[in-house]
Amino acid sequence: MSLAELHLHLYGCLRGEHVLRMLARSPRPSWERYEPKFEKVFGRPSPARALVARYVAGDETAVAEFEELFVFGDEDAGSFERFQTKFDLIAAASVVGIAARAPEMIPAALDEIRDAARMILDDQRRSGVSYAEQRFFFGRGTPPELIEGGLRALLEVFQESSAPIARLAPSLPRSDPWPHWEIVQRLALSPVGAALTGVDFCFIEEGHPPKEQRALFDAVLDHNRQNPERALAILYHVGESFEDKSLESAVRWVHEAAEMGAHRLGHAIALGVDPDAYGAHVRKESVAERRDQVAYDLRHASALAQYGVHVDRHALAREAELLASREGELQIVYDHRRLHEVRARQRFAMHAVRGHGAVVEVCPTSNLRIGGLRDPAHHPVRRFLEEGVAIVVASDDPGIFGTTLQRELAWVAAHAGVDVHELGARSWSARSEVLTGRR
């Protein structure tokens, strides 16, 4: 089966062996941040530095031990801190972060990015991936010459690759995407722009409602109308982590991102997760978020009612008045009845997402290990398929999760009872360049 992989973060594709090689080559690995954090999170000192020394001395057995240290496995599940600590090993090996503060290191950072991209394309080819869309994130405040140089370096490497066919979707910082977007648009229209097929939003979503990106989405869609041959898909991580808000708001965020024109939604766990996964519990959310929820309920009152959600227009209008002058946080108590209602809201939102034509990217291992879904039966994929939501299966950070696209597809096929070939074929028709009409 010829595989297309649509949700990847480039450095998350690095295997333990790649990171070990990078650390061995690095003139100055940044141990000072990684080591104390590892000890704090895992309660023992990290053997990483000693493993690198053994590897440099020619001890090949260090590779397997390093791989085990590096992979964020089932035994680490449910701890974002552990995930971050594993990721910090990549940061220790990389000079990209250093170059963001020390411009003289930019050439070394660009060399590293090129090398990493080549190692990853190699790994993908060997594991049967024929087409790969990769995301790459430069944080807010990165010097423009590093962003532009880094993205250009990737596009040059990707352009040369035919197995796999490689595509780039730069991730834009949610807090201020505009300076990055300006660079991305320029590159998209440049001679290397053919391999640039999307933009992505990732990293912490809490505090960044989709409505904040409306103007940026409009700018991308406008770019697409003016430059159809260089159109860019909007890829948006949403509903992956929603500790800070009501389940209703988490569902709404996914719906809103699709409504605003996102072509593919990353994870969207909130849209279809079994609400019983959370049991009776209490949550908090900001008054501002509740105001948006009230407005949403009023706007969709009759459609929600069709799905069995009772919307009391008068009560909501009164609540809106009360909330207008308030700030701070509200407490929301979930009992069986309210969880049942969330399920109905999800059905409404799933049908809306389907109507908008957005495709949900399902990354099972990532969801089970960092999404905090303890019981695989609560994973949303079965409901997505039941409700006719378009999905593709992807692996997110296959290096750090120690997985492959084949394994992710096999899990969904077994878990949801669908044909693995049919599932794999879905990705080909959901490529960014297909969804935006480039091809």
Nearest C-alpha neighbor of 9 from the set 83, 117, 111: 117
How near is the Cβ of 358 to Zn ion at its closest, in Å? 16
Closest separation in Å from C-beta 88 to Zn ion: 17
Span from 64-72, 160-168, 257-265, 396-404 in contact with Zn ion (CB under 5 A): 396-404
What is the separation of C-alpha 74 from the centre of its chain, rounded to a whole number of angstroms?
A: 19
| Residues touching Zn ion, count (CB under 5 A) | 1
Q: 145 near 186, Cβ under 8 Å?
A: no
- CA dist 345 and 31 (Å) reads 47
Nearest to Zn ion of 88, 361 (CB atom): 361
**Residue 135 or 438 with smaller CB distance to Zn ion:** 135
- The nearer residue to Zn ion, 293 or 367, going by C-beta atoms, is 367
The residue (of 51 and 199) whose beta carbon lies closer to Zn ion is 199
Q: What span, in angstroms and rounded, lies between the C-alpha atoms of 336 and 340?
A: 6
Q: Strand order in 3-9's β-sheet? A: 3-9, 129-137, 165-171, 198-201, 233-238, 264-267, 359-362, 391-393
Q: What Rg value do the Cα atoms of the chain yield, rounded? A: 22
First CA to last CA across the chain, in angstroms?
A: 22
Contact call for residue 396 and Zn ion (CB under 5 A)? yes
Please say which residue, 99 or 359, places its beta carbon nearer to Zn ion. Answer: 359
Stretch that binds Zn ion, among 207-215, 302-310, 346-354, 389-397 (CB under 5 A): 389-397
Residue with smaller CB distance to Zn ion, 11 or 181: 11
6: helix, strand or coil: strand
Shortest reach from residue 393's CB to Zn ion, in Å:
13
Q: Is 171 helix (H, G, I), strand (E, B) or coil?
A: strand
Residue among 148 and 396 whose Cβ is closer to Zn ion:
396
Q: Which amino acid is at 160?
A: E
Which span sits near Zn ion by CB under 5 A: 318-326, 347-355, 373-381, 391-399?
391-399
Rounded to a whole number of angstroms, the minimum distance from the CB of residue 199 to Zn ion is 14
Binding segment for Zn ion (CB under 5 A), chosen from 16-24, 100-108, 287-295, 390-398, is 390-398
Indicate the DSSP class of residue 364.
H
Nearer to Zn ion, 123 or 396 (CB): 396
Position of minimal CB gap to Zn ion? 396
**Residue 320: enclosing H or E segment and its boundaries?**
helix 313-324
Stretch 347-376: interaction string toward Zn ion, x if CB under 5 A: ------------------------------
In whole angstroms, give the CA distance from residue 160 to residue 381: 35
Task: Identify the three-state secondary structure at position 175.
Answer: coil
Cβ of residue 240: shortest distance to Zn ion, in angstroms?
8
Phi-psi group of 437: left, alpha or beta (phi > 0 → left; psi -120 to 50 → alpha; rest → beta): left
Per-residue burial over 139-156, b = 16 or more CB atoms within 10 Å of its CB, e = otherwise:
eeebeeebbbbbbbbbbe
DSSP letter, residue 396: B
Planar angle of CA 273, 9, 421, nearest 5 degrees:
60
- Please state the closest distance from residue 258 (CB atom) to Zn ion, in A: 17
65 binding Zn ion? (CB under 5 A): no
- Closer residue to Zn ion, CB minimum distance, 274 or 396: 396
Q: How far is the CB of 126 from Zn ion (least distance, A)?
A: 22
CB 82 → Zn ion: shortest distance, Å? 17
Q: Is 240 in the site for Zn ion (CB under 5 A)?
A: no
Please tell me the distance from the alpha carbon of residue 42 to that of residue 404, in angstroms, as a whole number.
26
Write out the residues near Zn ion by the rule CB under 5 A: 396
